[in-house]
Amino acid sequence: MQGFVQVTRNTVRESLREPLCLLVTLCALTLVGILPPMALFVFREEFKIITDNALMTLLTSSMVLAALLASLGLGRELRSGTAALVLSKPVSPASWLLAKMSGTALAVLSHSLIVALGALIVLRATPDQFELEWGLYWTYWGLLLVACAWGAWRNWSSGTSFSSATMSALLVLLVCLAIAANFWPASEGSAGLHGGFACCLVAVLFAAPVMSAAATTAAIRLGTGAVLGFCAALLLFGLAQRGLLHLAGDPVWGAAVRAVIPDWQAFWLADPLAAGIPIPASYLVELALYAAVQTAAWCLVGCLLALRAETGAVRQ
């Protein structure tokens, strides 16, 4: 158990130190941040534009980051022989792989939480299609600069990784800003973060461990480009599986496909949100159980591959 915790901790630390982790997070925050000006003067559709694009940005960026972190981290250890060194100690291949999956999932979950907080804040800064809460909006951008400045200072003063220090600062600052935004005075008298949108973001957060487990499983056999392609195909087929199964009309094949390919539309609650349908807490509980089952299934496949893999082999 101690070895599992240590490998997980090292995986989280190494993932957050990856420059690509910070780059993907900043790109996602930038895409979310430019949504309010783009949603001005859109015939009362500003809420749907912001929420739909923010949810898609969160889901896609989490999948890309999971593929990159799993491929780069696992591939580096396989090529350098670190995996063989770790497994020469009393650490089983299955335990090592599960620890790598857990560490990658925690890093991706940190990214997802940061982007989700940014989406909540920018939606709060858009009370109407004709105006923005400019104070809150520019504070959002200012905190991104402050976080980068903090990461640079930590890197210069103590040698701390710029990426990990900036990610930590982003998480702390955006949590504080989200709490402040909940009490930010609005021109129309409304106050508080949007509860329905927060539930939708929580649903997408449940997809992070599924993505990480699938990406890590693929990284056992595939290189970085192939893992990205696999994850992209998994995301597209998962989003389209309900329509494809409806056209096929075969309940047997439908059950098999649902068991293999995650139903990403279950995590995608933009349509009920746009229709004003409240999301019950029971659905979130069921969704968490579904995500746990999917994650366990991918972990099982990954462990079977790890037991057969030549961990000391060099992979191109």
Domain ranges in the chain are 2-308
Q: Which of 50, 36, 80 is nearest to 200 (CA)?
A: 50
Per-chain mean pLDDT for the chain: 80
Mean pLDDT, residues 291-307: 82
Please check whether residue 270 is in contact with residue 51, taking contact to mean a CB–CB distance below 8 angstroms: yes
pLDDT at 248: 57
pLDDT at 2: 64
Q: Which of 70, 42, 77, 52 is nearest to 275 (CA)?
A: 52
pLDDT at 88: 52
For 302, half-sphere exposure in the C-beta direction (CA atoms, 13 angstrom radius) is: 30
The predicted-structure confidence for 13-68, as pLDDT tens digits, reads as follows 888 888 888 999 999 999 999 888 877 766 667 778 888 888 889 988 999 998 88
Measured distance CA(140)–CA(153) in Å, rounded: 20
For 269, half-sphere exposure in the C-beta direction (CA atoms, 13 angstrom radius) is: 23
Residue 223 has a CB neighbour count (10 Å cut-off) of 14
Please check whether residue 120 is in contact with residue 33, taking contact to mean a CB–CB distance below 8 angstroms: no
Please check whether residue 204 is in contact with residue 59, taking contact to mean a CB–CB distance below 8 angstroms: yes
Mean pLDDT, residues 301-312: 64
131-139 contacts, C-beta under 8 A, 24 or more apart: 131/187, 132/36, 132/37, 132/40, 133/184, 133/186, 133/187, 135/184, 136/181, 136/184, 137/36, 139/177
Please check whether residue 136 is in contact with residue 125, taking contact to mean a CB–CB distance below 8 angstroms: yes
Measured distance CA(258)–CA(256) in Å, rounded: 6
The predicted-structure confidence for 123-163, as pLDDT tens digits, reads as follows 888 776 677 778 888 999 999 999 999 999 998 988 888 99
Mean pLDDT, residues 93-112: 84
Would the pLDDT of 215 be above 80?
Answer: yes
Mean pLDDT, residues 171-191: 77
pLDDT at 245: 63
Q: How confident is the model at residue 310 (pLDDT cuts 50, 70, 90)?
A: very low
Please check whether residue 111 is in contact with residue 65, taking contact to mean a CB–CB distance below 8 angstroms: yes
Please check whether residue 217 is in contact with residue 305, taking contact to mean a CB–CB distance below 8 angstroms: yes
| Dihedral in degrees, nearest 10, Cα atoms 80, 82, 88, 93 | -110
pLDDT at 186: 62
SS3 128: strand
Q: Which of 102, 97, 109 is nearest to 21 (CA)?
A: 109
Cα 25–Cα 26–Cα 31 angle in degrees, nearest 5: 100
Measured distance CA(14)–CA(167) in Å, rounded: 13
